[in-house]
Structure 1
C-alpha cells in the first residue's frame, strides 16, 4: 500500500508542539476530499484558529479554486509552492550547500487569504506555479534521487515550521497509492482523515490504506490517529452509518474509529458524513457562502460537525451578513462561467550561425519539451518581412536570449548573429541586473566574445554553459536556468 512504500525515518508524531497536521486522503478521486479540506479549514479559521492549507495533490492540484475570491494570484500563475520548495531543497542537497534547510522557508511559499477572520487566520500553500511547464516539472521529478540526497531531512524541518506557526495544518493528499500520498499520510500527518464514498471500491480501498498506515506507524513506535469520513452521501443514505443499518461500512471502519479514541460510534458517524448536494457539482464553492439559510442537513452544518471531530472541540460559526455572502457567491459563480486563463509560454530567442544548425535544433527541441516557445530565424521569418524589425521585436519581447557561440561563429568576419547580439546587448543594459535574461553558451568550448555590456563588464562576466563536454548535463542546466527561474 502507499503508506508502506516509504522506508525512511518519519518525523510525524515527534514534536512537542500543540499544533496538528491533518492529512485528508481518499483512495480514489472525485469523492469530495479537496472540498472537505477547504471547508474544514475555513470553519477552523472562522473559529479563531491559525490554519494552513496545503495542496499536495501535485499531479492534479485544485484546492486553490475553492479560495478563488480570496487569492490575489487567483490561478497561481506566479505563486510557487510545494514542488518548487522540494526541488530547491533537492538541488541544495546535491550541490552540498552549507544550509539546504534555508530553502524550506514557509514564508517564501505561503499566501494569506484576504478575509477578516477576526483572531483566526487562513494561509495557503499551493502545489506549485501553474505554468505551461508545471506538469513536466512534476512528472520528471526524481523522488529516488531526492531520498538518496538525504531528502528525509526535509520533512522534519517542514513539520517544525508548520507546527510553530499554525494551530492546524490541513494537507490535501494525492489519491490512490502514489508515493506522494505516503509522504502525506506517514511522513507528515498526526491525523489522517480517510474520505470515502458509499461504494465498495472506495470503502475497501480506504480501509486497506488505513490499515497500512496504522501498521507502518506502529512499526515506528508512532500513534496512528485515523478518522474515516463518508463524503458525497446521497440523500437516501443519510443517517445509515449512525444506526444499526451501517452494515458493511461499519464493519470495515469501527475498529479504526475506536482506535482513534471515539467511544460513541453512532455519534461519530452522524458527525462524519457529508451529504451530496448536486448544486456543488458545477464548480468549486465554499459552503459558508453557498448554503443559506442553514437547515441542519446543509453542507455548512455538516462541515462544522466534521471540523469538531477533527479538531476536538465544537465548531460553529456565525452566519455571514447576507450582502457579503451574496457578493462572494457571485464571485464564485462568475469563476465557474469564466474560462481558466492560460499563461503565455515563456519565449526564448536563439541566436546562432548556420554552421551550428544541427546542435541548435537539439537545444531548441529540449526547450520545447518543457513548454518554452522557441524563436528561430529560419522558422519564424517569412518572405517579405522587414527582418531587422521582426528580429528586434522578437528579442525585446522574449523572456530569454540564448546566444550560441562556437568556432564557426568566431571564424566568420560578418554574420547576422552580430546584428542580433547588438540588439540583445542593448536590451540587456535596460533590464534589471538581478533578472536572468541573456544566456551565453559555447557549443565547442570556444571563448565568449568580449562584447561590452556596460558597467565595465563584457559578455564574459555572464556565467556561460559549456556544451563541449557532457551534452545531457548541459541541456539539463539550460532547461533548469530557463524553467526554474521564471
Structure 2
C-alpha cells in the first residue's frame, strides 16, 4: 500500500512507521520501502543503516535487469522485540554518489494507462514482485510528496490501498483535489480503496471539533464534485463512506523526534493511531472474507 501526501511535513513517514508496527504486532512480516528519494527519512526514524538502498536497486535493475537485495535493507531496531518483523529499505546511503544516481534516474512518464512502461516503473514493479516472493505479508510504500516521479508511479495502480495524508490547509486541500482526480482516472468499474488521514489537528477539544468538522465538509464537497456519481450518494456523516477522514491530533511526544526508539508501546496504545490502522486494515479484511467464501463454495 502507498502512503502519500501532496505536501511534505504532514507526518506521513511517521504514520508509515506506526502502521508497520501495528502489522508487526499482529505477526505480519512487513517490508517498508522509502520512495521519497529527494527527502528520505524512514531509515533514520527506525534506526536502520545500510550501504545500499532503493536508489541502488532501481538503478541496477534499469542498467542490468538484475536486482540484488543484499545490503539494501535492515530491520527496524527502533521497535525492539518486533524489529525482525519489519524490513526497511532506506532510500540509500546519503553521499555525493546518491545525488549522482538520483540525477541519472529517468522519471519521465507517459499518460496514465499508456501502453509503454518507463524503466523506473518496471524496476519498482519487479522489486514488489521480489518481496512478495520473499514472503512479506505487507509492503508499505512511503511515497514522495507531489504528483510526479515516484509519487505518481506509486499512485498509478501499484497499491492495494492508497493512504492519503493531508493537513487542513488550502494548499493541502487543493493537493487532495488533484490527487483524487489522478486516482479517479485510474479506476475502472469500482472505486479503488483509499483512506484519508487528516493530521496535525489542534490538541484542544473545542478547536479540534471545529477544525475537523470544517475540513470534513470541504472533503465531502470534493467527493460530491469529483468522485460520487448517480443517485446513491453517501451522507456527510456516513462513517463508512470513502470521504470519511481519520483524524490525528498533534502529539507533543512525537514532535521533533529523530527516532522512534522507545516509543513502540506508546504508538501501539494511541487510540487515534489504532483507529487509523483499523481503517487501513478494512480492505484487507474484506478481501480475506471474500477468499474464504470462495474457498468454501
Which fold has the larger relative contact order, with Cα–Cα distance below 8 Å and residues 6 or more apart in sequence? 2
Cα displacement string for residues 331-376 of structure 1 (whole angstroms, at most 9, x for unaligned residues): xxxxxxxxxxxxxxxxxxxxxxxxxxxxxxxxxxxxxxxxxxxxxx
How far apart, CA to CA, are the structure 2 residues paired with 1:287 and 1:41? 14
Structure 2 equivalent of residue 54 of structure 1: 33
Q: What's the secondary structure of 2:197's corresponding residue? A: strand
Structure 2 equivalent of residue 386 of structure 1: none
Instruction: Please say which structure displays the higher CA radius of gyration.
Output: 1
Q: Structure 2 unaligned runs (5+)? A: 110-115, 286-297
How far apart, CA to CA, are the structure 2 residues paired with 1:44 and 1:245? 29
Structure 2 equivalent of residue 231 of structure 1: 199
| Matched residue count | 268
Give the alignment's Cα RMSD to 1 decimal. Answer: 3.7
Q: What's the secondary structure of 2:239's corresponding residue? A: helix
1:252 aligns with 2:200: no
> Is contact 1:57-1:127 (8 Å) kept?
yes
Q: For the structure 1 residues 32 and 148, does the alpha-carbon distance in structure 2 shift closer, same or farther, using more than 3 Å as the test?
A: closer
How far apart, CA to CA, are the structure 2 residues paired with 1:108 and 1:309? 34
Q: For the structure 1 residues 42 and 245, does the alpha-carbon distance in structure 2 shift closer, same or farther, using more than 3 Å as the test?
A: closer
Q: For the structure 1 residues 136 and 258, does the alpha-carbon distance in structure 2 shift closer, same or farther, using more than 3 Å as the test?
A: same
What does 1:137-148 align with in structure 2 at a 5 Å threshold?
137-144=101-108
Q: What's the secondary structure of 2:130's corresponding residue? A: helix
Q: For the structure 1 residues 56 and 304, does the alpha-carbon distance in structure 2 shift closer, same or farther, using more than 3 Å as the test?
A: same
Q: 1:266 aligns with which of 217, 239, 249?
A: 239
What does 1:216-227 align with in structure 2 at a 5 Å threshold?
216-218=186-188, 224-227=192-195
Cα deviation for residue 61 of structure 1 reads: 0.2
TM-score (norm 1): 0.48
Out of 122-131 and 151-160, give the one that drifted further.
151-160
How far apart, CA to CA, are the structure 2 residues paired with 1:153 and 1:300? 38
What does 1:180-219 align with in structure 2 at a 5 Å threshold?
180-218=150-188
Structure 1 equivalent of residue 43 of structure 2: 64
1:37 aligns with 2:16: yes
Cα deviation for residue 31 of structure 1 reads: 0.8
Cα deviation for residue 252 of structure 1 reads: 2.2
How far apart, CA to CA, are the structure 1 residues paired with 2:255 and 2:190? 38
Structure 1 equivalent of residue 293 of structure 2: none
Cα displacement string for residues 391-445 of structure 1 (whole angstroms, at most 9, x for unaligned residues): xxxxxxxxxxxxxxxxxxxxxxxxxxxxxxxxxxxxxxxxxxxxxxxxxxxxxxx
Cα deviation for residue 105 of structure 1 reads: 4.1
Q: What's the secondary structure of 2:7's corresponding residue? A: coil
Structure 2 equivalent of residue 162 of structure 1: 131
Q: 1:82 aligns with which of 54, 71, 74?
A: 54
> Is contact 2:74-2:87 (8 Å) kept?
yes
Structure 2 equivalent of residue 286 of structure 1: 260
1:112 aligns with 2:75: yes
How far apart, CA to CA, are the structure 1 residues paired with 2:218 and 2:45? 33
Cα deviation for residue 232 of structure 1 reads: 1.2
> Is contact 1:217-1:224 (8 Å) kept?
yes
> Is contact 2:54-2:92 (8 Å) kept?
yes
Cα deviation for residue 85 of structure 1 reads: 0.7
Out of 172-181 and 162-171, give the one that drifted further.
162-171
> Is contact 1:194-1:210 (8 Å) kept?
no
Cα deviation for residue 241 of structure 1 reads: 7.6
How far apart, CA to CA, are the structure 2 residues paired with 1:151 and 1:314? 27
